[in-house]
Structure 1
Amino acid sequence: MPADGTLPQQLSPEGIRALRAERPEMRARDFATQHGIAEAELVAAQIGTTATAIEAHPDAIMPRLTALGDVMALTRNESCVIERRGTYEEYHSGAHAQMVLGKEIDLRLFAQHWAHAFALEDGDKRSIQVFDRAGDAIHKVHLKPESDVAAFHALVAELRLPEQSDQLDLAPRARIEAAKSLPEKAETLRAEWDKLTDTHQFLRLVSKLKMNRLGAYRIAGTPYATEMAPDAVEALLTRCAADQTPLMIFVGNAGCIEIHGGTIETVKPMGPWINVLDPRFNLHLRGDHIAEVWLVDKPTKNGPALSLEAFDRHGALIMQIFASRKDGGVEVFNATIRALPRLEGQA
């Protein structure tokens, strides 16, 4: 879909299937981008063959995923992909947000963005895929050889929609909000920042002051927010892997945030990509998309919560990295993050 949020020129489902037959090996997202369609349109075009439309709400999907056993959970945005092996456990519904709290799969969900969902089965490849109103992927569940195929078929039968259409009504993609600051409120921002007792209070604070996250960072100043060098993210991942320092990595989009907690092992840059390639956890980050990196210090009742946060050139949040308090090593993590390279000219 075009970056300006407009809808692409629509291809018919027949046209999509014909083009896909010519390039079956191409990644779905890359294929959709190349042909100016939404990824959900590509999936919907396979209705009746390899795809089945299912209910698109976390309350319907998430509790049924536990029966699948060991799977791979995938969440992405334009610049980063996070993939975690595990079992979906402890689903918690809610009016405004939902959660999956498992030992390995840890998610924060926002059901208002869940518009289209599909079960895909092509040979031995099976998945559940959820998309927003613009047809962009929110969350995917990929079955593995160890997964329960019978449970997958039961899920599809239970959630299958009566209407199975290979066409979708899509909305324009929501525009990314640029950094929003009010310099005249900088002193108020810092005074209220000092009163925080939980990191979740921060967004309510900046919203109350008619700003947003990145806008607040730009005017808060050190020690609240310090701009770092763009390569600080790779440096932090590399150091935490070398020292086996536990961390928490947050990657998401409007409909889902996926969290990795614990240690990482193998950090491997490849071209523009910064990768974490571990047996049960993978991260793929476009380093060349990183435009701003901020070291952020928020007070909490358990002590300071330091984070490294990366943004793209449009002001969209790419990822956040925190210490993993439940795994220990907070002091080591904090020392590591404070020693990262700062943007030239920053104290």
Structure 2
Amino acid sequence: MAQTPPLSAQDIRSARFDTPELRDRDFADKLGISEAQLMAAHVGHGVTRISADPDKLIPAAEQLGEVMALTRTPSCVHEKVGHYANYHSGAHASMVLNDEIDLRIFPRHWVHGFALDQETDKGRRRALLVFDAAGDAVHKIHMRAGSDHDAWSGVVSDLALEAQEDMLQVTPREAPEPAKARPDQAEELRQNWDRMTDTHQFLTMVSRLKMNRLGAYHVAGAPYVRALAPDCLESLFTELSALDVPVMVFVGNAGCIQIHSGPVRNIKTMGPWLNVLDPGFDMHLRSDHVAEVWEVHKPTRRGMAVSIEAFDADGRIILQIFGVRKPEDRTGDFEAIAAALPRAAAEEVLS
């Protein structure tokens, strides 16, 4: 059943005016509405409804020059600075593929779109925002000082929808799927695992066995997976920084996966947040949300793909980290760092 906020658009705007210090997502949570409903309430007040269709939105974003791409989950924010280019459309999955911005897009979750253009205490704020059916953020494109601001008005005009309502109905948020394991299928899982030739075959394989990613990790055992101490990620990033080992950092929600490929050099912890603060790449991870971490080995045609993968207490994947094979193949260095990470204590390994 669709959900409409109990407050009027005027009520939402008034409450927002009185609480400018909170981030949009935090304010929406406090008010008991989705972030998309907060945006909708400001239509006509610095916000325009736009098409969320990636086949329209991404080519339009290519006109904006250098921007910041942001994809987040409840536990991790991934920000990349660059240009949108080399877009490949697909009915079920699309992608942006270049050295700066690397995205895997799942169009059915790109439901609500907004263009934000507001003056704030910190200056002008312009962004293209995409939300799913529940009103949760899927992907955001933020203008920067060096972006092509002359192109902004034309882009928004081209994307604008005819209907510009300031109220929005959303569907209930889907509950995360916990680990779905089938210990009785353990041997078949391992046999199929050995036959993999590409990491993209993994989810299809475990689904066929009535499992999901995390459930399969609980079942597979060595040498396929190793449960790691949940607090090992700070050590991992610190070591990657110290040895200047490039990695691929995947962070994604149901509608978009965003990838950083390169070094992670400036590592800062601030309270529960583990941050990467590099030129062109920022990551903000809630370390206190990490419940499980796994070292995973998957065979491919190019050799073994080793990853470090973190999950929250509800079974949602928070991030995946792989070694980078090109242009300088240092996957061996990444694998050595991964192998040295501490194991989870016996009570931390779920069965």
Shorter-chain TM-score range: over 0.9
SS at match of 2:13: helix
- Could you tell me which residue of structure 2 aligns to residue 317 of structure 1? 317
- Could you tell me which residue of structure 2 aligns to residue 46 of structure 1? 42
TM-score, scaled relative to structure 1: 0.96
- Could you tell me which residue of structure 2 aligns to residue 11 of structure 1? 7
Asked whether 1:151 is paired with 2:157, we answer: no
State the distance in 1 between where 2:62 and 2:154 align: 12
Letter in 2 for 1:247: V
Asked whether 1:217 is paired with 2:217, we answer: yes
State the distance in 2 between where 1:219 and 1:342 align: 17
State the distance in 1 between where 2:80 and 2:340 align: 29
Q: Is the 8 A contact 1:6 1:173 kept in 2?
A: no
- Could you tell me which residue of structure 1 aligns to residue 337 of structure 2? 336
> Structure 1, residues 186-210: CA drift from partner, whole Å, max 9, x if none?
0000010000010000001001101
TM-score, scaled relative to structure 2: 0.95
Residue 147 to residue 318, structure 1, CA distance change in 2 (3 Å): same
- Could you tell me which residue of structure 2 aligns to residue 288 of structure 1? 288
- Could you tell me which residue of structure 1 aligns to residue 135 of structure 2? 135
Moved over 4 A (4+): 5-9
State the distance in 2 between where 1:138 and 1:9 align: 20
SS at match of 1:74: strand
Letter in 2 for 1:344: A
- Identity over the aligned pairs, expressed in percent? 52
- Could you tell me which residue of structure 1 aligns to residue 91 of structure 2? 95
Give ranges in structure 1 of 5+ residues lacking alignment: none
Asked whether 1:107 is paired with 2:108, we answer: no
State the distance in 1 between where 2:337 and 2:2 align: 43
> Structure 1, residues 26-60: CA drift from partner, whole Å, max 9, x if none?
21011011111100111111100110000111001
State the distance in 1 between where 2:2 and 2:92 align: 28
Out of 22, 26, 42, the residue aligned to residue 30 of structure 1 is 26
State the distance in 1 between where 2:95 and 2:334 align: 26
Displacement of 1:144 in angstroms is: 0.4
State the distance in 1 between where 2:311 and 2:3 align: 25
Letter in 1 for 2:106: F
Displacement of 1:344 in angstroms is: 2.2
SS at match of 2:319: strand
State the distance in 2 between where 1:10 and 1:114 align: 24
Give ranges in structure 2 of 5+ residues lacking alignment: none
Q: Is the 8 A contact 1:11 1:37 kept in 2?
A: no
- Could you tell me which residue of structure 2 aligns to residue 67 of structure 1? 63
SS at match of 1:250: strand
- Could you tell me which residue of structure 2 aligns to residue 170 of structure 1? 170
Displacement of 1:6 in angstroms is: 9.7
Q: Is the 8 A contact 2:5 2:37 kept in 1?
A: no
Displacement of 1:8 in angstroms is: 7.9
- Could you tell me which residue of structure 2 aligns to residue 57 of structure 1? 53
Residue 216 to residue 6, structure 1, CA distance change in 2 (3 Å): farther
SS at match of 2:342: coil
Q: Is the 8 A contact 2:4 2:169 kept in 1?
A: no
SS at match of 2:251: strand
- Could you tell me which residue of structure 2 aligns to residue 298 of structure 1? 298
Displacement of 1:324 in angstroms is: 1.1
Residue 66 to residue 222, structure 1, CA distance change in 2 (3 Å): same
Displacement of 1:7 in angstroms is: 5.1
Letter in 2 for 1:250: F
State the distance in 1 between where 2:309 and 2:158 align: 40
Asked whether 1:201 is paired with 2:197, we answer: no
Displacement of 1:301 in angstroms is: 0.7
Number of aligned pairs?
Answer: 343
CA RMSD in angstroms, aligned pairs only: 1.5
State the distance in 2 between where 1:13 and 1:311 align: 36
Letter in 2 for 1:329: R
